[in-house]
Protein backbone atom coordinates (compact mmCIF):
# COMPACT_ATOMS: atom_id res chain seq x y z
CA UNK A 1 0.00 0.00 0.00
CA UNK A 2 2.83 2.37 0.94
CA UNK A 3 4.66 1.47 -2.27
CA UNK A 4 1.54 2.20 -4.33
CA UNK A 5 1.07 5.53 -2.57
CA UNK A 6 4.67 6.52 -3.24
CA UNK A 7 4.32 5.57 -6.91
CA UNK A 8 1.18 7.68 -7.27
CA UNK A 9 2.79 10.56 -5.41
CA UNK A 10 5.84 10.45 -7.70
CA UNK A 11 3.61 10.40 -10.80
CA UNK A 12 1.50 13.34 -9.63
CA UNK A 13 4.59 15.30 -8.59
CA UNK A 14 6.30 14.66 -11.96
CA UNK A 15 3.19 15.82 -13.80
CA UNK A 16 2.96 18.96 -11.66
CA UNK A 17 6.60 19.74 -12.41
CA UNK A 18 5.92 19.30 -16.13
CA UNK A 19 2.95 21.67 -15.99
CA UNK A 20 4.65 24.27 -13.83
CA UNK A 21 8.14 23.97 -15.29
CA UNK A 22 9.14 26.92 -17.46
CA UNK A 23 11.10 26.05 -20.59
CA UNK A 24 11.50 29.44 -22.30
CA UNK A 25 10.85 33.04 -21.26
CA UNK A 26 10.02 35.61 -23.94
CA UNK A 27 10.13 39.13 -22.43
CA UNK A 28 8.81 37.86 -19.08
CA UNK A 29 6.15 35.70 -20.79
CA UNK A 30 6.79 32.00 -20.06
CA UNK A 31 6.45 28.99 -22.33
CA UNK A 32 6.06 25.89 -20.18
CA UNK A 33 7.35 22.37 -20.68
CA UNK A 34 3.73 21.21 -20.67
CA UNK A 35 2.83 23.53 -23.59
CA UNK A 36 5.73 22.17 -25.62
CA UNK A 37 4.95 18.54 -24.75
CA UNK A 38 1.26 18.95 -25.64
CA UNK A 39 1.98 20.61 -28.98
CA UNK A 40 4.70 18.08 -29.78
CA UNK A 41 2.25 15.22 -29.28
CA UNK A 42 -0.47 16.96 -31.30
CA UNK A 43 1.69 17.89 -34.30
CA UNK A 44 4.29 15.08 -34.20
CA UNK A 45 7.02 17.72 -34.56
CA UNK A 46 10.27 17.90 -32.62
CA UNK A 47 10.46 19.90 -29.40
CA UNK A 48 12.87 22.32 -31.11
CA UNK A 49 10.43 23.04 -33.96
CA UNK A 50 7.53 23.43 -31.55
CA UNK A 51 9.62 25.79 -29.42
CA UNK A 52 10.31 28.00 -32.45
CA UNK A 53 6.59 28.06 -33.28
CA UNK A 54 5.62 28.97 -29.71
CA UNK A 55 8.26 31.72 -29.57
CA UNK A 56 6.83 33.20 -32.79
CA UNK A 57 3.37 32.99 -31.23
CA UNK A 58 4.56 34.90 -28.14
CA UNK A 59 6.11 37.58 -30.33
CA UNK A 60 2.85 37.92 -32.26
CA UNK A 61 0.95 38.23 -28.98
CA UNK A 62 3.31 41.03 -27.92
CA UNK A 63 2.61 43.03 -31.09
CA UNK A 64 -1.13 42.33 -30.84
CA UNK A 65 -1.16 43.78 -27.31
CA UNK A 66 0.92 46.78 -28.37
CA UNK A 67 -1.39 47.53 -31.30
CA UNK A 68 -4.55 46.77 -29.27
CA UNK A 69 -5.88 44.31 -31.85
CA UNK A 70 -9.02 42.42 -30.76
CA UNK A 71 -11.30 39.70 -32.13
CA UNK A 72 -14.89 39.38 -30.89
CA UNK A 73 -16.85 36.19 -30.16
CA UNK A 74 -19.18 37.05 -33.06
CA UNK A 75 -16.22 37.16 -35.46
CA UNK A 76 -15.06 33.73 -34.28
CA UNK A 77 -18.55 32.23 -34.68
CA UNK A 78 -18.95 33.79 -38.13
CA UNK A 79 -15.63 32.33 -39.31
CA UNK A 80 -16.67 28.88 -38.03
CA UNK A 81 -19.98 29.15 -39.89
CA UNK A 82 -18.11 30.14 -43.03
CA UNK A 83 -15.74 27.14 -42.78
CA UNK A 84 -18.69 24.77 -42.32
CA UNK A 85 -20.56 26.27 -45.29
CA UNK A 86 -17.52 26.04 -47.58
CA UNK A 87 -17.23 22.35 -46.75
CA UNK A 88 -20.98 21.75 -47.04
CA UNK A 89 -21.26 20.39 -43.50
CA UNK A 90 -22.94 21.45 -40.26
CA UNK A 91 -21.07 23.25 -37.51
CA UNK A 92 -21.40 20.17 -35.29
CA UNK A 93 -19.91 18.00 -38.04
CA UNK A 94 -17.04 20.47 -38.31
CA UNK A 95 -16.36 20.22 -34.57
CA UNK A 96 -16.40 16.40 -34.81
CA UNK A 97 -14.03 16.45 -37.78
CA UNK A 98 -11.56 18.77 -36.05
CA UNK A 99 -11.61 16.65 -32.90
CA UNK A 100 -10.91 13.55 -34.98
CA UNK A 101 -8.25 14.90 -37.34
CA UNK A 102 -6.54 17.57 -35.21
CA UNK A 103 -7.25 16.27 -31.68
CA UNK A 104 -8.77 19.63 -30.69
CA UNK A 105 -11.79 20.08 -28.45
CA UNK A 106 -14.47 22.58 -29.47
CA UNK A 107 -13.06 25.10 -26.98
CA UNK A 108 -9.51 24.61 -28.29
CA UNK A 109 -10.72 24.88 -31.91
CA UNK A 110 -12.48 28.18 -31.18
CA UNK A 111 -9.29 29.44 -29.56
CA UNK A 112 -7.34 28.45 -32.70
CA UNK A 113 -9.85 30.35 -34.85
CA UNK A 114 -9.45 33.40 -32.62
CA UNK A 115 -5.66 33.15 -32.93
CA UNK A 116 -5.98 32.89 -36.71
CA UNK A 117 -8.19 36.00 -36.92
CA UNK A 118 -5.89 37.92 -34.60
CA UNK A 119 -2.94 36.97 -36.80
CA UNK A 120 -4.80 38.09 -39.92
CA UNK A 121 -5.54 41.48 -38.36
CA UNK A 122 -1.96 41.71 -37.18
CA UNK A 123 -0.64 40.97 -40.66
CA UNK A 124 -2.99 43.56 -42.15
CA UNK A 125 -1.63 46.14 -39.71
CA UNK A 126 1.89 45.68 -41.06
CA UNK A 127 2.41 47.81 -44.17
CA UNK A 128 3.08 46.13 -47.50
CA UNK A 129 2.99 49.37 -49.50
CA UNK A 130 6.51 48.85 -50.85
CA UNK A 131 5.73 45.44 -52.37
CA UNK A 132 5.50 45.60 -56.14
CA UNK A 133 3.63 43.06 -58.30
CA UNK A 134 5.84 40.51 -60.10
CA UNK A 135 6.99 41.21 -63.63
CA UNK A 136 6.04 39.02 -66.59
CA UNK A 137 9.53 37.47 -66.53
CA UNK A 138 9.25 36.64 -62.82
CA UNK A 139 5.85 35.02 -63.33
CA UNK A 140 7.11 32.89 -66.22
CA UNK A 141 10.11 31.77 -64.19
CA UNK A 142 7.81 30.82 -61.29
CA UNK A 143 5.55 28.90 -63.67
CA UNK A 144 8.46 26.83 -64.96
CA UNK A 145 10.02 26.15 -61.57
CA UNK A 146 6.70 25.21 -59.91
CA UNK A 147 5.09 23.54 -62.92
CA UNK A 148 3.72 20.65 -60.82
CA UNK A 149 1.55 23.13 -58.87
CA UNK A 150 -0.38 23.89 -62.05
CA UNK A 151 -1.07 20.28 -62.99
CA UNK A 152 -4.52 18.89 -62.25
CA UNK A 153 -6.00 15.38 -62.61
CA UNK A 154 -9.19 15.47 -64.67
CA UNK A 155 -10.57 12.46 -62.82
CA UNK A 156 -10.06 10.55 -59.56
CA UNK A 157 -10.71 6.82 -59.27
CA UNK A 158 -11.53 6.20 -55.62
CA UNK A 159 -13.20 3.89 -53.13
CA UNK A 160 -15.40 5.89 -50.76
CA UNK A 161 -15.61 4.35 -47.28
CA UNK A 162 -18.51 5.55 -45.14
CA UNK A 163 -19.60 4.92 -41.57
CA UNK A 164 -21.75 6.48 -38.88
CA UNK A 165 -19.01 5.42 -36.45
CA UNK A 166 -15.90 7.56 -36.65
CA UNK A 167 -13.95 4.98 -34.63
CA UNK A 168 -14.86 2.10 -36.97
CA UNK A 169 -13.86 4.15 -40.00
CA UNK A 170 -10.59 5.13 -38.31
CA UNK A 171 -9.89 1.45 -37.69
CA UNK A 172 -10.55 0.69 -41.37
CA UNK A 173 -8.18 3.39 -42.62
CA UNK A 174 -5.50 2.18 -40.19
CA UNK A 175 -5.95 -1.47 -41.20
CA UNK A 176 -7.31 -2.10 -44.73
CA UNK A 177 -7.92 -5.79 -43.84
CA UNK A 178 -10.33 -4.77 -41.08
CA UNK A 179 -13.99 -5.61 -41.78
CA UNK A 180 -17.08 -4.25 -40.10
CA UNK A 181 -20.72 -4.18 -41.28
CA UNK A 182 -20.77 -0.62 -39.96
CA UNK A 183 -18.35 0.47 -42.73
CA UNK A 184 -19.71 0.57 -46.27
CA UNK A 185 -17.80 1.22 -49.49
CA UNK A 186 -18.41 2.06 -53.12
CA UNK A 187 -16.12 2.68 -56.07
CA UNK A 188 -16.47 5.89 -58.03
CA UNK A 189 -14.82 7.95 -60.73
CA UNK A 190 -15.05 11.60 -59.78
CA UNK A 191 -14.59 14.41 -62.29
CA UNK A 192 -12.49 17.35 -61.13
CA UNK A 193 -15.08 19.79 -62.49
CA UNK A 194 -17.93 18.24 -60.47
CA UNK A 195 -16.63 18.72 -56.93
CA UNK A 196 -15.86 21.57 -54.56
CA UNK A 197 -12.41 23.19 -54.34
CA UNK A 198 -12.13 21.88 -50.76
CA UNK A 199 -12.64 18.28 -51.90
CA UNK A 200 -10.25 18.82 -54.82
CA UNK A 201 -7.62 19.93 -52.32
CA UNK A 202 -8.18 16.81 -50.18
CA UNK A 203 -7.95 14.47 -53.18
CA UNK A 204 -4.89 16.20 -54.64
CA UNK A 205 -3.09 15.78 -51.32
CA UNK A 206 -3.99 12.09 -51.04
CA UNK A 207 -1.31 9.90 -52.68
CA UNK A 208 -2.33 6.89 -54.74
CA UNK A 209 -2.81 3.66 -52.75
CA UNK A 210 -3.58 5.53 -49.54
CA UNK A 211 -6.52 6.91 -47.54
CA UNK A 212 -7.55 10.53 -47.26
CA UNK A 213 -8.18 12.03 -43.80
CA UNK A 214 -11.58 11.24 -42.31
CA UNK A 215 -14.08 14.06 -42.67
CA UNK A 216 -17.84 14.55 -42.04
CA UNK A 217 -20.12 13.35 -44.83
CA UNK A 218 -22.63 15.94 -46.15
CA UNK A 219 -25.39 13.36 -45.54
CA UNK A 220 -24.30 12.51 -41.99
CA UNK A 221 -21.66 10.15 -40.68
CA UNK A 222 -18.08 10.15 -41.90
CA UNK A 223 -16.18 9.48 -45.14
CA UNK A 224 -12.67 8.61 -46.22
CA UNK A 225 -11.43 8.22 -49.80
CA UNK A 226 -9.03 5.47 -50.84
CA UNK A 227 -7.16 6.83 -53.87
CA UNK A 228 -6.78 4.18 -56.58
CA UNK A 229 -5.73 6.37 -59.47
CA UNK A 230 -5.49 9.97 -60.65
CA UNK A 231 -6.25 9.98 -64.35
CA UNK A 232 -5.52 12.38 -67.22
CA UNK A 233 -3.26 14.82 -65.42
CA UNK A 234 -3.16 18.04 -67.43
CA UNK A 235 -1.14 21.22 -66.95
CA UNK A 236 -2.72 24.65 -67.15
CA UNK A 237 -1.17 27.00 -69.69
CA UNK A 238 0.70 30.05 -68.45
CA UNK A 239 -2.16 32.26 -69.60
CA UNK A 240 -4.69 30.16 -67.65
CA UNK A 241 -2.54 30.21 -64.51
CA UNK A 242 -1.42 33.84 -64.77
CA UNK A 243 -3.62 35.27 -61.99
CA UNK A 244 -2.95 32.31 -59.70
CA UNK A 245 0.80 32.72 -60.23
CA UNK A 246 0.65 36.41 -59.32
CA UNK A 247 -1.37 35.64 -56.17
CA UNK A 248 1.10 32.92 -55.14
CA UNK A 249 4.11 35.19 -55.64
CA UNK A 250 2.49 38.04 -53.70
CA UNK A 251 1.53 35.63 -50.90
CA UNK A 252 5.15 34.48 -50.69
CA UNK A 253 6.34 38.08 -50.59
CA UNK A 254 3.96 38.81 -47.72
CA UNK A 255 5.12 35.71 -45.85
CA UNK A 256 8.76 36.69 -46.37
CA UNK A 257 8.07 40.24 -45.17
CA UNK A 258 6.35 38.92 -42.05
CA UNK A 259 9.16 36.47 -41.35
CA UNK A 260 11.65 39.33 -41.68
CA UNK A 261 9.55 41.52 -39.36
CA UNK A 262 9.37 38.88 -36.64
CA UNK A 263 12.99 37.81 -37.07
CA UNK A 264 14.11 41.39 -36.42
CA UNK A 265 11.73 41.52 -33.46
CA UNK A 266 13.13 38.23 -32.13
CA UNK A 267 16.70 39.52 -32.31
CA UNK A 268 15.71 42.61 -30.29
CA UNK A 269 13.65 40.68 -27.73
CA UNK A 270 15.03 39.11 -24.57
CA UNK A 271 14.51 35.35 -24.87
CA UNK A 272 15.81 32.97 -22.21
CA UNK A 273 16.10 29.24 -22.93
CA UNK A 274 15.95 27.29 -19.67
CA UNK A 275 15.26 23.71 -20.84
CA UNK A 276 13.36 21.63 -23.37
CA UNK A 277 11.58 18.27 -22.92
CA UNK A 278 13.83 15.29 -23.52
Average of per-residue pLDDT across 253-262: 87
Predicted confidence (pLDDT) per residue in 186-207, tens digit: 999 999 888 877 788 889 889 9
Distance separating alpha carbons of residues 40 and 83, to the nearest angstrom: 26
The three-class DSSP label of residue 116 is: helix
- Nearest one of 26, 23, 25, 27 to 37, comparing CA atoms: 23
| pLDDT interval class at 275 (50, 70, 90) | confident
pLDDT tops 80 at residue 100: no
The share of the chain scoring above pLDDT 70, in percent, equals 91
Q: Residues 251, 255, 260, 266: what is their CA dihedral angle, to the nearest 10 degrees?
A: 160
Confidence (pTM): 0.62
Distance separating alpha carbons of residues 224 and 172, to the nearest angstrom: 10
Give the burial string for 82-91 (b: 16+ CB within 10 Å, else e): ebbeebebee
Q: What is the pLDDT of residue 117?
A: 92
- Domains along the sequence of the chain with CATH: 145-235 (3.10.50.40)
The share of the chain scoring above pLDDT 90, in percent, equals 50
CA distances from 164 to 34, 187, 199, 222 (A): 35, 18, 20, 6
Amino acid sequence: MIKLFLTLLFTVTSYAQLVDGVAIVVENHPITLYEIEKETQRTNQTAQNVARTLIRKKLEEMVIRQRQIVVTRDEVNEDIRSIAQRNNITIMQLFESVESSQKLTTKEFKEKIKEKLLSQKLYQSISYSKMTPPTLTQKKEYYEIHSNEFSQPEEYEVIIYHSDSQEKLKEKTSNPMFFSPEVSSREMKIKYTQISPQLVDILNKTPEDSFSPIFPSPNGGFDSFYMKNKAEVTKATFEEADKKIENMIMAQKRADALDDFFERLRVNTQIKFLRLPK
